[in-house]
Amino acid sequence: MTAKDNHINYVELKAKDLEKTKKFYTAAFNWTFTDYGPTYIAFSDSGLEGGFEKTENEIVNGALVILYHKNLVFVRDKIIEADGDITKDIFSFPGGRRFHFSDPSGNELAVWSDQ
């Protein structure tokens, strides 16, 4: 699937135990996983790609919706102009870069780019 600007592209969830999480979703739904170190696993074969990030914190709202945009600086500035708040500025991760923002209601989302 080709990533398109401004479309939901990925969903990220929290997990206390990545091995148990992989085992559960593999057995229950036949999802497949790719390990990215001790704190992150990505999943596919689920209808929408996503990942689980290991956390020791209490999981209150464990889903992070991630949109795609090829130009992170451009879309970050548009979010600020539209009264969104940047909660984590642009950072690199294996496969690209991203930032997090909150909308006027306080929902946190992220935007990523492979460019």
Fold for 6-65, please state it.
2,3-Dihydroxybiphenyl 1,2-Dioxygenase; domain 1 (3.10.180)
Summarize the confidence of residues 78-86 as an average pLDDT: 92
pLDDT band at 101 (very low <50, low <70, confident <90, very high): very high
Fold for 69-115, please state it.
2,3-Dihydroxybiphenyl 1,2-Dioxygenase; domain 1 (3.10.180)
pTM of the model: 0.78
Q: So what's the pLDDT on residue 104?
A: 81
Q: How many CA atoms lie within 13 A of 113 on its CB side?
A: 14
Domain ranges for the chain, please list them: 6-65, 69-115
Over residues 5-61, the pLDDT tens digits come to 999 899 999 999 999 999 999 988 899 999 999 999 999 999 899 999 999 998 887
